[in-house]
Every structure is written in C-alpha cells, then in structure tokens.
Amino acid sequence: MILLLFGMLAVIATWCLLAVVFFGFGQLVFRALRLNARGWRYAHLSFWVGWASSIVLLQLWHLQFPVDARLSTIVAGLGVAGVVVERKAIIAQCKASWRQRNQRQMLRAAVVITAVILFWSALAVGAPHRPDTANYHLAGVRWASAYPVVPGLGNLHHRLAFNNSSFLYAAMLDVGPWTNKSHHLAHGLLAIVTILYFLSYVPRVSEVNAPRFPLHLLHAFFLPIAVLFTYKGTTSLQPDFITFLIGLIVASLLFELLLSPRSSGQQVRRNTFAICFLSAVGLTVKVSLLPFGFLASCIALGYAWRQDGSSAIARRGLLLMSSFCLLYNLTLPTTCRVGCGGG
C-alpha cells in the first residue's frame, strides 16, 4: 500500500512538472507568433501546442541523435523560458482569480480535481493492458532512446517502420528515475489535462441563458467520451489514444470557432492555427487522423478567410503559416523517418 501511494505521488509530481513545461513551451510559441493565449481559458491550448511543438522538435532531433536526456533538458528549458517570459501575465491572472474567488466553489473544484487526479494516478501506476504495447510499442520507445532513426528497422517488425512520433514523446520521458517506465507518465498526462478541461465546463451547463450555452453543453458532452476511451489505455502506448484526444481538442476548437457569437480576429487566427497545427502533428502520431484533421483544417481556414476582419495580407499570412505547419510535419521529418525505417 505504501509503495502504491509513493508511486501515485511520484506520478502526480512528474505530471505537474511536465504540465508546466508544455504550458510554458506553448506560451513561447504563441508569443513568437503574436497570438494572444493568456488566461486560464487558454491554458489547455498552450499545453497542447507546447506538446505538439515538442513533437516537431523530437522528429528533427531524432534524425541525427537518439532521444535522451539532452533533448529532455532542451524541452524543459524552453518550457521554463516560456513561463519566465509570461510570468507577469500569469501572476496577474492568478491574483485576479483569487480576488474573484468563491470559497465554496473553490473547495468543490479542489475536491473534484483531487479525486480525478488520484484516480488517474492509480491507473497510471498499473501495468499496460494493450497487447500491442508489449508487441512493438515499448520496443519502438527503446530504439528511439538508444539510437537515431535506424534505416531498415521495419525489417525487425513491420510496424516499427511506421515511426509513430508518439514513441519519441515517450522516449523523451524515459530518462532519470523514469528510465524504462515512461508508459506510466506519457498518456496519463495527456488524458488528465483533457479530462480536467472538459470537466471545467460541467458546472456551466446550468447557465441555460448564457450566449455560449451550446458550446458549454458540447464540451461537457465530450467529458464522458474522453473518460470512457482513455481510462483503460492510460499505461499503454497506443498511438490511437493520442490521436483520439487530439481529435477531441480539435473538434472543441472548431466548434468554439463556429458557435461563438462574436469571434474576434485574434481568436479566429489563434484557433485556426491550433487546429491546423495539432491536426498536422496528429498525423505524425498516426495517419488515421488524416480525414478528420484535413477536413477540420479546411473548415477552419475557410471560416478564417471569410470572417477574419484583418487585411488581405494577414489572411494570406494565416493561410501560409497554417499550410507550412501541415507541409512541414507531413513532408520533412516524417517522410525521412518513415523512409529510413522502411529501409
């Protein structure tokens, strides 16, 4: 029992550190692109964009080097840099939230959040339940940790030639005390962030007259879907787990874009970039996301082209930036890695 509690606390502490790192990395990306993503409302979006940016960096790194502690340090440094750069806005947001606090609501939220995190950390310390994790997932992580992309690796197991980028993410966590144990961290972190995000909309479902009520209801509806799909795969490394979560996040961003009564130009550009970027990175995890990701990106780009009130130059820049994300993730590192892995 003591070992179980110690393992749960270790998982929770590491999740918290990783969440800060990916959040800070995402803030750095949004700042570089001059897209406003400040405030708790966009914390999950900064996390996912930071995670996706680390996947891009991982793919480039792995062309020449194994995924080891060096890259983990670089990603952690970028995340900390993002938090430091945005520290004033983060502190101001925390102070504003504290002034507007409702003690009963905060207590309820703290109890629910603690219960969810404890439950998922208990799942995370268990053994993998999916046979493919033992079949080739863990092997893919080990190869990525030990060597750069290996030409002809698919000759050992044909599925290793797919070069799913999610294995690089797990390999990045496969350092220090978590060596050979990253499956306890990788997918559980993504699941808990997504579930807590959708859970935050449940109390707002009672606000029937609110202008954003349809959007709140839709986000709350995503909660049981996310829970039912993820709770058995928390310790497995199946790529479908991540592409499913990316699909939910992209769908929520797309609906937010289409259903918001008044979308500012900044919101349109931010959501459109995130939809295209996450869809492109999701394709490097597993190509089965292609139909949904491509359709969502086309709808978002079309909506942005018609609704964004900025100049034609800004519209073209938005289109070029989003298209670059798609082409970059699909053609450069992914093609090289799949080509090498297939021999």
Task: Single out the residue of 239, 235, 249, 324 nearest to residue 292, CA to CA.
Answer: 249
Q: C-alpha distances in angstroms, 245 versus 66, 145, 318?
A: 27, 25, 25
Judge whether residue 54 has pLDDT over 90. Answer: yes
pLDDT of residue 23: 93
Judge whether residue 130 has pLDDT over 70. Answer: yes
User: In this predicted structure, which of 86-95, 205-214, 297-306, 325-334 has the lowest mean pLDDT?
Assistant: 325-334
C-alpha to C-alpha distance for 93 and 327, rounded to whole angstroms: 36
Contact 276, 232 (CB under 8 A): no
pLDDT of residue 12: 94
User: In this predicted structure, which of 20-29, 126-135, 152-161, 319-328 has the lowest mean pLDDT?
Assistant: 319-328
Mind giving me the DSSP string for 9-41? HHHHHHHHHHHHHHHHHHHHHHHHTT----SGG
pLDDT tier for residue 219 given thresholds of 50, 70 and 90? confident
Judge whether residue 246 has pLDDT over 90. Answer: yes
pLDDT of residue 252: 92
C-alpha to C-alpha distance for 20 and 8, rounded to whole angstroms: 19
User: Average pLDDT, whole number, for the chain?
Assistant: 82
pLDDT of residue 269: 82
Residues 6+ apart with CB under 8 A from 242: 166, 187, 190, 282, 285, 286
pLDDT tier for residue 167 given thresholds of 50, 70 and 90? very high
pLDDT of residue 4: 80
pLDDT of residue 18: 95
Residues 6+ apart with CB under 8 A from 192: 15, 116, 117, 120
pLDDT of residue 74: 94
Q: Kindly state the tokens that stand for 264.
A: 């500012």
**Angle between the N-to-C axes of helices 265-285 and 43-62, in degrees from 0 to 180, rounded to the nearest 10:** 40
Judge whether residue 316 has pLDDT over 60. Answer: no
* Side-chain half-sphere exposure of 255, counting CA atoms within 13 A: 17
pLDDT of residue 129: 81
What is the share, in percent, of the chain residues with pLDDT greater than 90?
Answer: 28
Judge whether residue 328 has pLDDT over 60. Answer: no
Judge whether residue 190 has pLDDT over 90. Answer: yes
Alpha-carbon Rg for the chain, nearest whole angstrom, is 20
pLDDT of residue 298: 85
Read off the pLDDT of each residue in 309-333 and give the average, rounded to a whole number: 55
Task: Single out the residue of 147, 55, 51 nearest to residue 341, CA to CA.
Answer: 147
Q: Kindly state the tokens that stand for 271.
A: 């959501």
Read off the pLDDT of each residue in 221-227 and give the average, rounded to a whole number: 90
pLDDT of residue 110: 80
Contact 66, 9 (CB under 8 A): no
pLDDT of residue 260: 74
pLDDT 10s digits, 68-106:
999 999 999 999 998 888 887 777 777 776 666 666 777
Q: Kindly state the tokens that stand for 48.
A: 């996912």
Residues 6+ apart with CB under 8 A from 292: 247, 250, 279
Between 210 and 115, the higher pLDDT residue: 115
Residues 6+ apart with CB under 8 A from 274: 45, 48, 49, 250, 253
What is the share, in percent, of the chain residues with pLDDT greater than 70?
Answer: 83
pLDDT tier for residue 325 given thresholds of 50, 70 and 90? low
Between 273 and 266, the higher pLDDT residue: 273
Q: What is the pTM of this model?
A: 0.89
Read off the pLDDT of each residue in 125-151 and give the average, rounded to a whole number: 86
